[in-house]
């Protein structure tokens, strides 16, 4: 099967600034992919391009379509939440449901109302009267009632407190995700999404620096807490990053035999956040 | 078709001023008719009652037209900008609706539906105030202000005004939409400044007034093109002796065969296409 999203040499320039620099990316169906990168790395530009919100250079197909040219058709099968604050303040909850139900062929009204029935939100409320967490719930109700093949979330929990964030992700995993769907998500809160992701993509300075499944992370990357006396020997195996904490040194290795490394100290699989820091600082050094 | 209907419905949800302003304005005129000083000379039947009725209806219509022009202009200037300002554009763009449809729905609302709402409001206000004034001036409704023939003709005139206004001011509407899709702030300033600067540059460097002539011709030139007898005399002339006949006054053939009309249409279409292109590319303020 062709990948759901395929980008080759995807480039986006804003004047002299290159936001995406020949980025390559493949996303297969049924995955939950985290697109992770520092501020200004090109995350938002990549999502904008994938959603057809901006034009670009290079090759890009999403669900077999060219997003910028075919955005209208693409949105029949794909939906996105680009942070929570985008529902217009004058819109009433019932109007929002009526509108989406009327214009979206894959919207299931019963699902949206069932989701909202579990909340305190009533139909006559306007968005400006709702708290940020409630707005998220409305937006989520609208989005999850759409039978989309691809859901894109851009910093979906920005500005939400921890309770609202937690319930957002719980609803996403429990009520929405199944094997027919694919989710692409960007966030700063890596720890929060780590255990729901199946794949991670690191982006830095407009380039994709890592694109792997989490299963592969375990075999590919090893972190070793090395004591000082073994440090030189361990360094000979060419770690790509070193981290000094509390008198210990943690070395990060890629594609090095774990049997060899176990001689230097305790092995563990790095967390996504650690790997992110290691990969980005290490490659920069 | 369904989507078009809901896009228009959405505009009426968002902009309640579309009907609130004419309702309030009509209410104020009614209050004025109820409690204001009545200075209508007592009219004997068959005297100048048709003329009086015509002037009265045109005066009411003219006031509504003035308010409508200001509001419709503001609406067109604000509609695309506001989506970007409150970031709700990201919600609208997550739905399978093309940007062309969105922009055209706003054009239709601004150029046709808002005038129609004002037309209805003007009619209702004219009927109510004519009734009130007739009683207060102690003239019988039938003979003075209530002239069904004149009233019927005013309906035709209004339709003609709406059509010619929509066609003639298409380039103005296109320009306002373009600014609305483009400006990062201060839409009013941006809508006025570029033409003004062009005008001044031409004045200062070339000593000519071609641009000023074109602009003022467009802004105030409609009556001369659309009505007979406007250029020589400049008076709205409902002939008091012959039965007032709006067909003597309307110059549809002249309007639609005038090259200025069609130059305006072409420029308008180009500006609207540009506005759609900007709407496709710009989602940020």
**Model pLDDT for residues B220-256, shown as the tens digit of each residue:** 888 888 888 665 444 444 444 444 577 778 888 888 9
Q: What is the pLDDT of residue B281?
A: 87
In this structure, chain A runs to a length of: 285
Nearest CA in chain B to A87: B88
Which residue in B154, B106, B75, B73 sits closest to B4, CA to CA?
Answer: B106
> Which range (A16-25, A197-206, A263-272, B36-45) has the least confidence?
B36-45
Q: List pLDDT tens digits, range B35-47.
A: 877 665 555 555 5
A155: left (phi over 0), alpha (psi -120 to 50) or beta: left
Nearest to A102 among B2, B87, B94 (CB): B2
Q: What is the pLDDT of residue B73?
A: 95
Q: Using the predicted structure, report yes or no on whether residue B79 has a pLDDT greater than 90.
A: yes
A72 touches chain B (CB under 8 A): yes
Six-digit token pair at B251?
Answer: 């110059």
Share of chain B above pLDDT 90, in %: 51
Residues A215-241, mean pLDDT to the nearest whole number? 84
- Identify the helix (H) or strand (E) that includes residue B17: helix B17-35
Query: Mean pLDDT score of chain A, rounded to an integer?
Result: 86
Nearest CA in chain A to B84: A86
CA-to-CA distance for A145 and A115, rounded, in angstroms?
9
> Which range (A70-84, A173-187, B160-174, B222-236) has the least confidence?
B222-236
**Which band of pLDDT confidence, cut at 50, 70 and 90, is reported for residue B172?**
very high
Q: List pLDDT tens digits, range A11-44.
A: 998 888 888 999 999 999 889 999 998 888 888 8
Other Cβ atoms closer than 10 A to B207: 7
Q: List pLDDT tens digits, range B253-282.
A: 888 988 889 999 999 999 999 999 999 988
The domains of chain B are located at 2-281
Chain A neighbors of B7, CB-CB under 8 A = 103
Nearest to B94 among A54, A80, A89 (CB): A80
B96 touches chain A (CB under 8 A): yes
Q: Using the predicted structure, report yes or no on whether residue B23 has a pLDDT greater than 90.
A: yes
Nearest to B14 among A68, A90, A102 (CB): A90
Query: Mean pLDDT score of chain B, rounded to an integer?
Result: 85
Q: What is the pLDDT of residue A154?
A: 85
Residues A104-117, mean pLDDT to the nearest whole number? 91
Q: List pLDDT tens digits, range A15-24.
A: 888 889 999 9
| 7-26 of B, contacting A, C-beta below 8 A | 7, 9-10, 13-14
Higher pLDDT, B59 or B115: B115
Q: What is the pLDDT of residue B53?
A: 76
Global ipTM: 0.86
Burial A24-44 (b: 16+ CB within 10 A, else e): ebbbbbbbbbbbbbeeebbbb
How many Å lie between the alpha carbon of B68 and the closest alpha carbon of chain A? 23
Chain A neighbors of B1, CB-CB under 8 A = none
| DSSP result, B239-281 | -SSSPP-GGGTB-HHHHHH-HHHHHHHHHHHHHHHHHHHHHHH
3-state SS, residue B251:
coil
Q: Using the predicted structure, report yes or no on whether residue A220 has a pLDDT greater than 60.
A: yes
Q: What is the pLDDT of residue B228?
A: 80
């Amino acid at each position: 099967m062709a990948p759901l999203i395929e980008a080759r040499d995807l480039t986006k320039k804003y004047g002299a600034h290159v936001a995406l620099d020949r980025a390559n990316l493949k996303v297969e169906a049924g995955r939950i992919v985290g697109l992770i990168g520092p501020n200004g790395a090109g995350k938002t530009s990549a999502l904008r391009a994938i959603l057809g919100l901006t034009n670009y250079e290079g090759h890009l197909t999403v669900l077999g379509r060219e997003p910028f040219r075919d955005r209208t058709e693409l949105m029949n099968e794909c939906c996105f939440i680009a942070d929570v604050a985008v529902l217009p303040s004058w819109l009433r909850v019932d109007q929002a449901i009526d509108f989406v139900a009327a214009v979206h062929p894959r919207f299931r009204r019963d699902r949206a109302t069932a989701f909202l029935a579990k909340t305190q939100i009533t139909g006559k409320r306007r968005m400006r009267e709702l708290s940020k967490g409630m707005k998220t719930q409305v937006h989520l109700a609208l989005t999850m009632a759409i039978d989309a093949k691809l859901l894109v979330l851009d910093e979906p929990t920005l500005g939400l407190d921890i309770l609202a964030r937690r319930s957002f992700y719980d609803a996403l995993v429990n009520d929405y995700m199944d094997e027919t769907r694919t989710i692409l998500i960007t966030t700063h809160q890596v720890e929060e999404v780590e255990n729901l992701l199946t794949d991670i993509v690191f982006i830095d300075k407009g380039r994709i620096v890592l694109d792997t499944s989490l299963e592969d992370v375990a075999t590919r990357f090893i972190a070793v807490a090395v004591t000082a006396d073994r440090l030189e020997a361990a360094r000979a195996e060419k770690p790509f990053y070193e981290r000094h904490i509390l008198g210990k040194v943690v070395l990060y290795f890629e594609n090095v035999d774990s049997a060899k490394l176990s001689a230097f100290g305790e092995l563990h699989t790095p967390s996504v956040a650690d790997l992110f820091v290691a990969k980005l600082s290490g490659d920069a050094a | 078709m369904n989507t078009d209907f809901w896009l228009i419905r959405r505009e009426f949800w968002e902009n309640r001023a579309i009907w609130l302003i004419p309702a309030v304005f009509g209410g104020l005129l009614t209050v004025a008719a109820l409690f204001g000083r009545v200075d209508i000379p007592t009219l004997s039947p068959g005297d100048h009652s048709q003329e009086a009725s015509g002037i009265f209806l045109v005066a009411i219509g003219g006031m509504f037209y003035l308010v409508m022009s200001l509001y419709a202009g503001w609406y067109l200037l604000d509609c695309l900008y506001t989506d970007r300002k409150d970031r709700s554009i990201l919600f609208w763009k997550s739905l399978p609706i093309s940007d062309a449809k969105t922009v055209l729905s706003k054009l239709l609302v601004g150029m046709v539906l808002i005038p129609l709402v004002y037309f209805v409001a003007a009619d209702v206000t004219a009927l109510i105030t004519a009734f009130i004034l007739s009683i207060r001036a102690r003239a019988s409704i039938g003979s003075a202000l209530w002239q069904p023939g004149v009233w019927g003709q005013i309906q035709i005139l209004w339709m003609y005004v709406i059509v010619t206004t929509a066609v003639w001011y298409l380039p103005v509407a296109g320009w306002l939409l373009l600014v609305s899709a483009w400006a990062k702030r201060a839409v009013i300033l941006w809508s006025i400044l570029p033409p003004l600067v062009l005008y001044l540059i031409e004045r200062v460097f070339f000593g000519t007034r071609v641009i000023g002539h074109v602009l003022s011709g467009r802004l105030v030139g409609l009556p001369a093109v659309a009505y007979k007898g406007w250029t020589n005399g400049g008076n709205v002339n409902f002939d008091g002796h012959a039965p007032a006949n709006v067909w003597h006054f309307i110059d549809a053939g002249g309007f639609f065969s005038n090259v200025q009309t069609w130059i305006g249409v072409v420029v308008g279409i180009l500006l609207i296409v540009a506005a759609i292109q900007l709407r496709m590319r710009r989602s940020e303020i």
